[in-house]
């Protein structure tokens, strides 16, 4: 069955269930939570906390959260997320219109803890595969470019792969993303990709419904999507729970936004499916913040990349390199 046919089938089933409301942003689950739980206790300590949130009020797709997730459109998303929210489960249930829940949540094994050698020696690894892992020994940088001492201090010692998402300014919805891998001589850069973030820009103290993406350093431990695994080494939850419909903040269609997602470990349990709605910091700090397919407009808290670049990222991320995303506006990250 083609992806289009599958989406139509899911749409019809949602109509039958009388639950066709569209997500408003990214994750289809918690109400208005795309990753707004600053100071999460999961994954690398974030400057502002991490957790999946999705798209904008009526657009945007950040990860699926229950009512008021930060990804997705206000009218079509259950909350603030773009992905369909799961049924009642840990944490806030899906708001109106996250579509049917993904069913039993698939729990993914968390990556192994860093060894003593890694902790002592710090990140050290060669580049990944494909265009995202370009660069050479001669272009390697000792420290991750554009990051100040406070931000660098939040990058775990064992991390050897980092996606840096840099916003133009605190209120901008436009960003760039670049994947770096640690080699013996330093950090080697990959290609620079265009990206989008939340409608109101960035914040170091994310809360559900603020329509801002959280600033910080967060681990990347699980992926998933409405479409099948494109070849990632991360645990991948292939589920209809990622179906999304409706429109974004700028009237753009949200369908397909969650075909591929990577959960940003902000206010969530690392290693679990992106559709898991557990919120360690509480629902008020948001959640459901994801990296997902761009839908042509700002999100409620998530970060989006083109479909091609999302697939490249998924194939490049390697759990053995303990990947993280470092995200925020340029001034905040340089501190």
- pLDDT tens for residues 293-313? 999 999 999 999 999 999 999
The pLDDT of residue 142 is 86
Res 137: pLDDT: 41
Quick one: pLDDT band at residue 1, thresholds 50, 70, 90? low
Instruction: Report the DSSP beta bridge partners of residue 25.
Output: 71, 81
Residue 145 — pLDDT band, cuts 50, 70, 90?
Answer: very high
Is the distance from CB of 218 to CB of 46 less than 8 angstroms?
Answer: yes
pLDDT surpasses 90 at 118: no
Structure tokens that stand for 151 in this block:
């931000």
- Encoded tokens for 178: 């670049």
pLDDT at 92 over 60: no
DSSP E strands in the chain: the ranges are 23-25, 27-28, 64-65, 71-77, 161-167, 174-183, 186-196, 202-203, 213-214, 216-219, 223-225, 236-238, 261-263, 290-293, 303-305, 324-329
Residues 6+ apart with CB under 8 A from 103: 86, 87, 239, 241
Nearest to 165 by CA among 73, 62, 282, 75: 62
How many Cβ atoms from other residues are within 10 Å of residue 296's Cβ?
A: 16
Q: In Å, what is the CA distance from 168 to each residue of 109, 295, 299?
A: 35, 20, 16
């Amino acid at each position: 069955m083609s992806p289009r046919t599958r989406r139509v089938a899911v749409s019809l089933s949602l109509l039958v269930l009388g639950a066709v409301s569209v997500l408003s942003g990214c994750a289809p689950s918690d109400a208005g939570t795309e990753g707004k739980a600053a100071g999460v206790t999961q994954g690398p300590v974030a400057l502002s906390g991490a957790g999946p949130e999705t798209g904008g009020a009526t657009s945007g797709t950040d990860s699926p959260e229950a009512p008021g997730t930060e990804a997705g459109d206000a009218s079509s998303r259950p909350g603030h997320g773009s992905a369909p929210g799961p049924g009642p489960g840990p944490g806030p249930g899906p708001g109106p219109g996250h579509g049917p829940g993904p069913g039993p949540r698939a729990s993914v094994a968390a990556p192994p803890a860093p060894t003593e050698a890694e902790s002592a020696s710090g990140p050290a690894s060669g580049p990944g595969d494909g265009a995202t892992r370009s660069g050479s020994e001669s272009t390697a940088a000792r420290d991750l470019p554009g990051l100040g001492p406070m931000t660098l201090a939040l990058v775990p010692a064992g991390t050897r792969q980092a996606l840096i998402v840099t916003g133009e300014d605190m209120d901008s919805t436009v960003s760039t993303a670049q994947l770096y891998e640690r080699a013996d001589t330093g950090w080697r850069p990959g290609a620079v990709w265009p990206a989008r973030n939340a409608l109101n820009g960035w914040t170091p103290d994310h809360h559900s419904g603020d329509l801002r993406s959280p600033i910080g350093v967060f681990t990347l431990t699980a992926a998933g999507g409405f479409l099948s695994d494109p070849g990632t080494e991360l645990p991948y939850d292939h589920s209809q729970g990622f179906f999304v419909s409706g429109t974004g903040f700028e009237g753009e269609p949200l369908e397909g936004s969650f075909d591929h997602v990577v959960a940003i470990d902000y206010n969530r349990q690392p290693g679990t499916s992106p559709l898991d709605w557990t919120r360690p910091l509480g629902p008020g700090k948001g959640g459901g913040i994801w990296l997902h397919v761009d839908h042509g407009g700002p999100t409620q808290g998530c970060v989006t990349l083109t479909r091609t670049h999302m697939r490249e990222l998924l194939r490049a991320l390697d759990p053995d390199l303990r990947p993280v995303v470092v995200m925020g506006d340029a001034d905040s990250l340089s501190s």
